[in-house]
Structures are given as C-alpha cells and as structure tokens.
Structure 1
Amino acid sequence: MKVLVYSAKDFEIPFLERANNGRHEVTYLKEALNLDTAFKSVGYKAISIFSGDDASSIVLETLKGLEVKFISLRSTGYNNVQLKTAQKYKLKVANVPDYSPYAIAEHAVTLLLALNRKIVNANNQVHAYNFLQSNLMGFDLKGKTVGIIGTGNIGTVMCKIIHGFGCDILAYDVEQNPNLIDQYAIKYTDLETLCSHSDIISLHVPLTNLTYDLINKKTLALMKPNTVLINTARGAIVHTDALIEALENNQIAAYGTDVYEREKGVFFKDNSQSGITDERLKKLISLSNVLLTPHQAFMTTEAIQNIAQTTFENIDSWASGEKCANELLPEESVTEWD
C-alpha cells in the first residue's frame, strides 16, 4: 500500500522505517496535513498524521475526493480529527491507544519536581556563578495530597509513581478503577472536592466536549494558593486566560505543562528567528512560576518505537482487509476517557 506520512520528524523516521520493514511504499513529508497540503496525498491510499495535523471536515472531504481510504494517527489523542465526517465519507481512522503511559506520567512528575525544587532557576544561577539558595525553597512531596484527573492508562501510572512518594491521592474520573483503590488507597471524589483539597493536581484526560476548559475560572478559584497544576494532556483542557489570571493573582502557586491550547503553527517548529505572535503564549511563558516544554512528553525511545510499530500494524490490517483493532468511531470521542 502507498502511504504518505505527514508531519514526519527526523527523529521518528528511522523508527517508522524499521516498523514498516519494506512492506509498504512510504513517502515522508515534513509539512503538516491541512487544506493546502491535502492535495499531496494524490495517489496514496493511506496517510499517517500527528496530533497537530488538521483533519477537520473540509480537509477530510478533500482527502475523500483524492481517494484516500485510511488515516493512521501517530498519537493517542484524536481531537484534531472530525470523526463524524470521516465516518460519513467512509474514511477509516485509527490511533495508537497505548504507546507508553510511562513516558507521559514520568514527564508529568518531571515537571512537578522541576517546578517544586526550582531546578531551572538553580541551573541558571550556577551558570552565572551564583550559588545562593535563598530563592530555591521547595517542599516535601511526602504527605501532600495529589489530585489526579483521569485514571486511564496514563493516570494509573501517575498514581503508582505518586504513591511511591508517600502522597495521599484523590481522583476524579467518569469510571472508577477498583484496582487503584485497593493497591494505592486512592479516593475517588467529585471535581470540586479534588480541586479544593489537593496540593498538586495532574491532568490525564483526552480533549473532548466533556473536558474542554475543565480547568476554568470556577475550578481555579477552588484551588489552594499553594496548588501546583500539571498538564501533560491537552492544552485546551485548561482555560488559558483564567489560568494566567490565577497565576498572576497568586491564586495557585505554579503551572507545569507540556501542551498549549493553540499549538498549531507554533509547536513542532523552530521559531527562534521569526518569533511568535501569540500574546497569550508569550505572557504564559514569561511568568516565573510557569514551566512549559514543547509537547515532548512522548519523546522516549520506547514510546516512539511503540508508536511506529502500532502505526504500521494499523496499516497492515487495512492492507490485508482485516478489521483494525484501533479504529475510532465518533461516539468514542464523547463517551470515553483514555
């Protein structure tokens, strides 16, 4: 099968090549999928896209007209794909549901520890030969209450890690995991209770109509002034304007994130020469109590290898006429938290 890979990153191409192992005729394109680049899929039966690509209705309609049949996502999240339109045009879409929950959860903990122990500030200081400690005070994680929103694959790993620090764990999800209750003594509660009682809150839900702006002016107002908020899920789960206001007013203590609600056109590219025009993003990263990384949580050898492998397993299934185990349906984007 002829496959066009959009948003192909130099670091992932060797993994994709090994996973394909010559079975399919693959072309790699650095450009993201959008209305302007959709025409490049002429002659390809399948395409592969990343989480930042545009698979909106008008783009999918264009792909249908170009006789594309299959779309294999190289991500777990699929909020960038209009699944109802894909179903309408009989486009098969599949994701990578479980590439490495450890990569994401470990990055969330990294953000938390770096913020708490002022690692970035300390590193900058010593490089300037400043070895004072007066502004580097942190706190012990042991005994703190951690609120974990979403206890799917990634949230489950986060519970395990946080439990190892000796924390008390509150959780919020549409479905409880009894194993987490038994093994780690986590307590499921409502969102308002979690926000008002947690010292640390970590987000591990997909972006759906149920989670959009889940962290907003109301929920931020419930949080304690010492709360550290961590987001390795999706940027639009947090209302950015309300977050900035809460940070500036010392309503919460800090924000560590690997994602931003308007990543498109900014993330996954070097803007060091051209700069950026998003004033909200500029404001966010200018705050001393914010640590933002460029959507790199998935960047481990194991995760990239698993993504590549599953991407071509999905394509293999379609090529052989078999049912693809990871195919997505429209209702899944509303009813399930991953």
Structure 2
Amino acid sequence: MKKICFFDTKPYDKTYFDMYKEAFDFEIDYFEPKLNADTAIMARGYEAVVAFVNDTIDAKTIDILYEGGVRLIAMRCAGYNNVDFKAAFGKVHVVRVPAYSPYAVAEHAMALLLTLNRKIHRAYNRTREHNFSLNGLTGFDLHGKTMGVIGTGKIGRIFIDICKGFGMEILAYDLYPQTESGLHYVSLQELCERSDVISLHCPLTKETWHMINKNTLQLMKKGVFLINTSRGALINSEDLFHAIKEEQVGGAVLDVYEEETEFFYEDLSGEIIKDDILSGLISMPNVIVTSHQAFLTKEALSNIAEITFENLKEYFKGTGLANEICYRCTKFGNCDKTDKNRCF
C-alpha cells in the first residue's frame, strides 16, 4: 500500500478526499501544518505528498522531501507559482489539478462584483439592525458597461459568458490570445483605458507579476472597479491601496492577496493583523476581501479529490503523467517528454 501525506489540511479537504480514498489503494495521513522547510521532515517515509497553493515548496523544502524518500508532489490546485520547479526537476515529479471547476471561480468573481456594486453586504448588515435606509447604497447598471478581462483561459472565457449575459461589452487581453475564439483582443493599455471594470483570470508568471501597478492603474478610467480571483501578486497591493485612497480606483474585490500565505485559510479573529496594506484594504468601504474561496464549491472539491487521486494512481502505476508540469513546461510552453510521457 502506497503511503501519502497531505499538508495544510482543512476539514473540507478530508471530507472530499475520504469520499474517494476507498477506491484507491493508498495509506493516507493528514497534516494540518503548511508544507515548508520546517515541516517537510514530517513527510519522511512517504512516497508522495499532497500540497496546496499556499505551501512553500522552495529548493530547501524539495531537498528535504527528496532525502526523506518523496518522489511526487501532487498539488491539489491549479496554481503552481509556489513551486521551485528547477529544484524539483530530476528529483521530484510535480502534478496538479489544471481544471477542477472554472464555473466556481468565474461565478464567485461575478458574485463579488455584484455585492460591491449594489452594496449588498452593507444592506445586509443594516437590515439586521432594522435600518432600512437606502442612503449610500446606490450602484450602477452593468448593462452597457465595458468589462476588461485579462486572461482568456477556461475561467476567463466562462466569466466572459457571464458578463455577456448582463449585456456588457467585452475587451480581452492575453499574452497568448486565442485568435479563433471570436473575442475582441486589445493591448493591455487599451483595455485599461477603456474598461469600466477589469477582472484578472491569468496565472502568475514572471511576465504577469505586478502587471497591475502604479503605471497601469493611472491608465484606467477614474472610478474603475477591479476584480482579482486569480493570484494576489498580479496586483501591486501597495499601489492599489494608494489608488483607492486617491479615488482613481472606485472599488476592488479581492479573493487573493500577494502576501496571503500567513493569513488566508486561518482563523485570526482574535489577533492583530500586522500587514498594514491588508488591514487598510479590508477597512475600506469600497473593498471586499474574501479568503481565497472562489474555488470552494461541492463540485470543485469533488473534482479536486478525484483528479488528485488519479494523478497519484498514474504515478504509482508508472504510466504517463497527464497533469505533470516542470520548469521546461512553465518556461517554454512545451516539454520534451520521455517515452513514458513524463517530464523526466
């Protein structure tokens, strides 16, 4: 029986992985701490570890895992910017869940926009205190407005379909545009200049890191709304904070934050948040922050569990790894797979 351990495990993870584990011949242990150089020693004796987006899988962590016998890191998420692929190459295979439920993320993005625009969160709090005043709750029609979508993968395209249902005009930007999609692609500059709302749906890479910064924010319409349900470091948080204070940005909804690792997924309600930018953003009336929950639907959690186990099964059977990724995949877009359809 193959031994596998999970890091950064939450109750909802156990619920859905336990639903599927009986169909696979694995011995599983769940660990609550995040995976990093300090906790990697806990994986000694296991053949594979299952990790998450906020784990720190740097060179030191990978070396400790490798020395302890780990040969596979199975990411139970689509994101992989927290993995040092060069350090892993030739030692530890890395697989991921590329598409668990793009509808979950796209729908959450629209839910955040509607909530902020129509002040639903403020109205909810008021009426619970028997305050039925409408003062300060005015929003705007989405119909006829221009939505700029950065990233036109599965999630981005589903979000575009949702926006079209509201009668919005769509501008798209992608480093690798899908020319036959029928989407109206423009430059990043034009998208920033013309959009009333901008939503981010792209991966975090060297090219996209801090793509929303002081310069691009200044290009945008005064009062623009920003949506980020992708990766926190796509936005320079300090620049965004100042742009909101200066009223260049009219509102922001964030399901991710570039320094979220220490905070998100944890109950810190009894503690002082020592991140001034995060604290400042949360305190603003025109900002909504959720704790990286866009993926959190029954369908998505079920798919994550099933695909993760299928990835593990492929590895232990010695067959090709359909969802493997390495530094050559991320850097060049293509990887010369071995005859076993693996990265090395």
Common fold: TM-score over 0.5: yes
Give unpaired runs (5+ residues) of structure 2: 334-344
Given candidates 283, 286, 289, the residue that maps to 2:283 is 286
Alpha-carbon displacement from aligned partner over 1:30-86 (angstroms, at most 9, x marks no partner): 111011110000110000000011101111111111111000001000000001110
Task: Please give the alpha-carbon distance, in whole angstroms, between the structure 1 residues aligned to 2:331 and 2:268.
Answer: 34
The aligned counterpart of 1:193 is 190
Give 1:69's aligned amino acid.
R
Alpha-carbon displacement from aligned partner over 1:244-297 (angstroms, at most 9, x marks no partner): 010000001000010000011211110011232111111111111100001100
In structure 2, the CA distance between the partners of 1:9 and 1:66, relative to structure 1 (3 Å rule), is same
Please say if 1:48 is aligned against 2:50: yes
Which SS does the other structure have where 1:264 is aligned?
helix
Task: Please give the alpha-carbon distance, in whole angstroms, between the structure 2 residues aligned to 1:246 and 1:279.
Answer: 15
CA displacement at 1:178 relative to structure 2: 4.1
Farther off after superposition, 58-67 or 191-200: 58-67
* TM-score normalised by the chain length of structure 1: 0.96
Task: Please give the alpha-carbon distance, in whole angstroms, between the structure 2 residues aligned to 1:77 and 1:335.
Answer: 17
Please say if 1:310 is aligned against 2:307: yes
Please say if 1:257 is aligned against 2:258: no
Which SS does the other structure have where 1:121 is aligned?
helix
Which SS does the other structure have where 1:275 is aligned?
coil
Task: Please give the alpha-carbon distance, in whole angstroms, between the structure 1 residues aligned to 2:233 and 2:245.
Answer: 19
Given candidates 210, 215, 221, the residue that maps to 1:224 is 221
Alpha-carbon displacement from aligned partner over 1:139-183 (angstroms, at most 9, x marks no partner): 1111100000000010010111111111110000022224541xx
Please say if 1:323 is aligned against 2:320: yes
Alignment of 1:1-338 (within 5 A): 1-21=2-22, 22-88=24-90, 90-178=91-179, 180-181=181-182, 186-334=183-331
Task: Please give the alpha-carbon distance, in whole angstroms, between the structure 2 residues aligned to 1:92 and 1:329.
Answer: 8
Which SS does the other structure have where 1:323 is aligned?
coil
The aligned counterpart of 2:337 is none
Task: Please give the alpha-carbon distance, in whole angstroms, between the structure 2 residues aligned to 1:255 and 1:195.
Answer: 15
* TM-score normalised by the chain length of structure 2: 0.94
RMSD: 1.1
Task: Please give the alpha-carbon distance, in whole angstroms, between the structure 2 residues aligned to 1:300 and 1:270.
Answer: 20
Task: Please give the alpha-carbon distance, in whole angstroms, between the structure 2 residues aligned to 1:335 and 1:270.
Answer: 39
Give unpaired runs (5+ residues) of structure 1: none
Which SS does the other structure have where 1:270 is aligned?
coil
Farther off after superposition, 211-220 or 325-334: 325-334
Task: Please give the alpha-carbon distance, in whole angstroms, between the structure 2 residues aligned to 1:209 and 1:314.
Answer: 27
Q: Which has the higher contact order (CA 8 A, sep 6+)?
A: 1
CA displacement at 1:334 relative to structure 2: 3.7
CA displacement at 1:335 relative to structure 2: 5.0
Task: Please give the alpha-carbon distance, in whole angstroms, between the structure 2 residues aligned to 1:34 and 1:195.
Answer: 37
Give 1:107's aligned amino acid.
H
Q: Is contact 1:209–1:334 with CA below 8 Å preserved after alignment?
A: no
Count of paired positions: 331
CA displacement at 1:238 relative to structure 2: 0.2
Identity within the alignment, % = 43
Task: Please give the alpha-carbon distance, in whole angstroms, between the structure 1 residues aligned to 2:303 and 2:180.
Answer: 25
Give 1:292's aligned amino acid.
V
Farther off after superposition, 132-141 or 144-153: 132-141
Alpha-carbon displacement from aligned partner over 1:96-131 (angstroms, at most 9, x marks no partner): 000000000000000100010001111111122211
Q: Which runs of structure 1 show a deviation greater than 3 angstroms over 4 or more consecutive aligned residues?
A: none
In structure 2, the CA distance between the partners of 1:190 and 1:240, relative to structure 1 (3 Å rule), is same
Task: Please give the alpha-carbon distance, in whole angstroms, between the structure 2 residues aligned to 1:282 and 1:140.
Answer: 30
Give 2:99's aligned amino acid.
D
Task: Please give the alpha-carbon distance, in whole angstroms, between the structure 2 residues aligned to 1:122 and 1:96.
Answer: 38
Task: Please give the alpha-carbon distance, in whole angstroms, between the structure 2 residues aligned to 1:71 and 1:175.
Answer: 28
Give 1:99's aligned amino acid.
Y
Q: Is contact 1:151–1:204 with CA below 8 Å preserved after alignment?
A: yes
Give 2:134's aligned amino acid.
Q
Which SS does the other structure have where 2:227 is aligned?
strand
Farther off after superposition, 271-280 or 191-200: 271-280
Q: Is contact 1:208–1:334 with CA below 8 Å preserved after alignment?
A: no
